[in-house]
Amino acid sequence: MVEDNNTNYSRLTRFIHWREKHIKQRDFILVLALFAGLLTAIAAWLLKTLIHYLQLFVEWCVNASGTTLCYLFFPMLGIMLAALFVRYIVKDDISHGITKILFAISQRKSIIKLHNVWSSIVGSGITIGFGGSVGAEAPIVLTGAAIGSNLAKLFRLDQKTMMLMIGCGAAGAIGGIFKAPIAGLVFTLEVLMMDITMASVSPLMLASITATVFTFIFSGTEPMFPLDSLNPFSLSSLPEYLLLGIICGLVSLYFTRGMNFLEQKMKRIQSMWLKILIGGVTLGLLVYVFPPLYGEGYDSILYLLNDRADMLFEHGPLAGWSVGWLLVLFVVLIIVFKIVAAVATNGGGGVGGIFAPTLFMGCLTGFVVAVVINNFGLSVSEGNMALVGMAGLMAGVMHAPLTGIFLIAEMTGGYHLFMPLMVVAVVSYMVIMLFEPHSLYAMRLAQKGELLTHNKDRSVLTLLHIENVIETDFKVLQPKMTLGELVKVISVSHRNIFPVVDENGIFLGILLLDEVRNIMFQPRLYKRFTVEQLMTSPIAVLSDTMPMEKVMEVFEDTGAWNLPVTDNDKRYIGFVSKSKIFSAYRDVLMQFSEE
């Protein structure tokens, strides 16, 4: 077996050397982008197929039992199976897929673990198939990003190319699962916040188109949400769309803050089984009372887009009650409880994303606004408002107006509604930006200073790591050393700063050459003074876990040129100089900006 592994390694090494001689880097990236798109499309198809057959099984059980009470049981079963799968098989956290991609780009040199190629498919398939109120898109985006990252790692490509391949996998995932190639490209630029060159657009587009084409082969060319009828845009309805954009922005704020608040509450629960119980019972009750909360909710979206709102409560205990203002009340309650259902699913141990909940809540928001407007004597298309409401929520929650516009147009075939899509998406984005500077995906990383952004300076600083700029060639002093012993150390040092540590390596302070220059040539003082008497406290001390952006803030605030670095136990590690950071910054900036 060892011999076989060595043989395979040798073959791979020979191929890499051959490729470097005969295939240009740019051409090879295009080949990898094509493979990333193909593999991601297959992964998306597998996930959708798994969800479909599990949902058919649940429906069969419901029909066989003759009661909808089964919906109280199956969501908890899905959460429990997913939690056990993650805990005992994967043994790693695979939730919050987009956030993990952002973290990998920002802090882990674009490395995503190999198990993410398949673990998210299994975990989210089980969760959603049994009724989890989350989406399959974020898990498949993580899967695509893992495919891209590991392809680049396999062929030993550099960090910049690995970042691009992550983008290719993510673009392919969005293009494949939604049949939306343009949205796949735009999503990578907006949500993953990659500051890439024009040369990078080709592989991203190739991956997205490849994934979309293979999805067409697997499941046909029909849009994800086909529309039965088309209602053209009327300029007279522009005020209603402006109102919808404002409301979508406020609902996005509720979604973002509510989701974040509830997730923090669930994280405080330590017991896995208690989480499963709370999440499963909560989700089961919500699904039983409000059937549209079952699964991704895409059936409900299709009903509303085609003016079939009566189908929302066909199988629930509220069937027959959903008329007039009661319908509005019920739909509003579904909007309110959707984030509870989503957090109960993921917080309880399930695996899923917020793509589907965002689209679902946006569609219902647009529908409610349209019904209320029509009840006040005005006339607006409920289907149109439901459609553009999805773009409004996506723009607000994900801070991605372009992704919302192109994704909704491509997945519905509603290209005739580009104007209202743009109006609602932009207005919603402007409203949410008044309250939240980061999307729900980026919020967790932004709070830690670990987020890569479109700001070039901040992006480059984020790609730097403090351990790469620490200098350790400083002569270390002990506090009890005499001036005479200090002079001997100074004579062999090329630095003018000396860290002082105790016998355990704990950092105590610094000694500056300028502070002893006037006495170091007076032998009569060599035994009178000790390092402890001569040392001073530095103006600031850096931690080895501090992000580089924070490091630069400390340098700017203090005006220092050299600062000591310690670990969490205050043990001395080395020094960081502003000149060293500037040199590393220039190197990364050149790599980051070259075509």
DSSP string, 514-531: HHHTTTTT-GGGTTT-BH
CA distance to 255, 349, 428, per residue, from 259 (Å): 6, 15, 18
Q: Does 15 score more than 90 pLDDT?
A: no
Better pLDDT: 464 or 148: 148
Quote helix, strand, coil % in the chain, to nearest 5. Answer: 70, 5, 25
Burial (CB < 10 A; 0-12, 13-18, 19+), residue 276, is buried
**What per-residue confidence (pLDDT) applies to 591?**
55
User: For residues 470, 472, 475 and 476, what is the CA-based torsion angle, rounded to 10 degrees?
Assistant: 80
Which tokens go with 256?
């973002």
**What per-residue confidence (pLDDT) applies to 209?**
94
Taking residues 499-515, report their average pLDDT: 89
pLDDT category of residue 522 using cuts at 50, 70 and 90:
confident
Beta bridge partners of 577: 562
Better pLDDT: 265 or 14: 265
pLDDT category of residue 523 using cuts at 50, 70 and 90:
confident
Which top CATH class is 237-454?
Answer: mainly alpha
Residues 6+ apart with CB under 8 A from 324: none
**What per-residue confidence (pLDDT) applies to 517?**
82
Better pLDDT: 313 or 490: 490
Q: Does 454 score more than 50 pLDDT?
A: no
For β-strands 507-512 and 497-501, DSSP reports them as: antiparallel
pLDDT category of residue 453 using cuts at 50, 70 and 90:
very low
What is the C-alpha separation between 190 and 438, in angstroms, rounded? 12
**What per-residue confidence (pLDDT) applies to 456?**
47
Which tokens go with 395?
């723009």
What is the C-alpha separation between 174 and 210, in angstroms, rounded? 11
Q: Which amino acid is at 305?
A: L
**What per-residue confidence (pLDDT) applies to 20?**
77
Which tokens go with 162?
């690995």
Q: Does 25 score more than 90 pLDDT?
A: no
Q: What is the mean pLDDT of the chain?
A: 84
Lowest-confidence range among 310-319, 377-386, 424-433?
Answer: 310-319
Burial (CB < 10 A; 0-12, 13-18, 19+), residue 472, is exposed
Under a CB-based contact definition with an 8 Å cutoff, are residues 160 and 124 in contact?
no
What is the C-alpha separation between 200 and 377, in angstroms, rounded? 51
Q: Which amino acid is at 313?
A: F
**Cα distance from N-terminal residue to C-terminal residue, the chain:** 42
Could you tell me which of 104, 130, 103 has the C-alpha nearest to residue 348? 130
pLDDT category of residue 70 using cuts at 50, 70 and 90:
confident
Q: What are phi and psi of 386, to 5 degrees?
A: -65, -40
For the stretch 265-306, pLDDT in tens is: 898 888 899 999 999 999 999 988 888 999 888 988 988 888
Taking residues 82-86, report their average pLDDT: 92
Q: Does 461 score more than 60 pLDDT?
A: no
**Percent of the chain's residues with pLDDT above 90:** 37
User: For residues 109, 114, 116 and 119, what is the CA-based torsion angle, rounded to 10 degrees?
Assistant: -160
For the stretch 303-324, pLDDT in tens is: 888 877 777 766 666 555 556 6
Most confident residue range from 65-79, 130-144, 461-475: 130-144
Could you tell me which of 352, 291, 283, 29 has the C-alpha nearest to residue 165? 29
For the stretch 540-552, pLDDT in tens is: 999 988 877 788 8
Better pLDDT: 172 or 455: 172
| One fold for 22-219 and 459-593 | no
What is the C-alpha separation between 458 and 460, in angstroms, rounded? 6
Lowest-confidence range among 1-15, 500-514, 519-533, 571-585?
Answer: 1-15
Q: Which long-range contacts (CB under 8 A, 24 or more apart) does 231-240 make?
A: 231/381, 231/383, 231/384, 232/416, 233/384, 233/416, 233/417, 233/419, 233/420, 237/380, 237/381, 237/420, 238/420, 238/423, 240/369, 240/370, 240/373, 240/378, 240/380, 240/385
Under a CB-based contact definition with an 8 Å cutoff, are residues 135 and 352 in contact?
yes
Beta bridge partners of 507: 501
CA distance to 32, 42, 166, per residue, from 212 (Å): 16, 11, 17
Most confident residue range from 66-75, 207-216, 232-241, 300-309: 207-216
Q: Which amino acid is at 576?
A: V
Does the domain spanning 459-593 belong to CATH 3.10.580.10? yes
**What per-residue confidence (pLDDT) applies to 237?**
85
Q: Does 354 score more than 70 pLDDT?
A: yes
Each domain of the chain, given as residue ranges in start order, spans: 22-219, 237-454, 459-593
Burial (CB < 10 A; 0-12, 13-18, 19+), residue 359, is buried
Q: What is the residue whose two structure tokens read 């019972």? A: 281
Could you tell me which of 400, 26, 443 has the C-alpha nearest to residue 206? 26
Report, at the CATH architecture level, how domain 22-219 is classified: Orthogonal Bundle (1.10)
**What per-residue confidence (pLDDT) applies to 595?**
44
Question: H helices within 290-379, ranges in order?
Answer: 298-305, 324-347, 355-375
Q: How many helices (H) and strands (E) does the chain have?
A: 24, 5
For the stretch 118-147, pLDDT in tens is: 999 999 999 999 989 998 888 999 999 999
Positive or negative torsion for Cα 524, 527, 533, 538: positive
Lowest-confidence range among 410-424, 541-555, 563-577?
Answer: 541-555
What is the C-alpha separation between 476 and 467, in angstroms, rounded? 19
What is the C-alpha separation between 60 and 13, in angstroms, rounded? 52
CA distance to 72, 341, 419, 429, 435, per residue, from 384 (Å): 34, 26, 12, 19, 27
Q: Does 241 score more than 80 pLDDT?
A: yes
Q: Does 458 score more than 70 pLDDT?
A: no
Taking residues 447-476, report their average pLDDT: 65
Q: Is 577 helix (H, G, I), strand (E, B) or coil?
A: strand
What is the C-alpha separation between 19 and 29, in angstroms, rounded? 11
**What per-residue confidence (pLDDT) applies to 12?**
75
What is the C-alpha separation between 327 and 392, in angstroms, rounded? 22
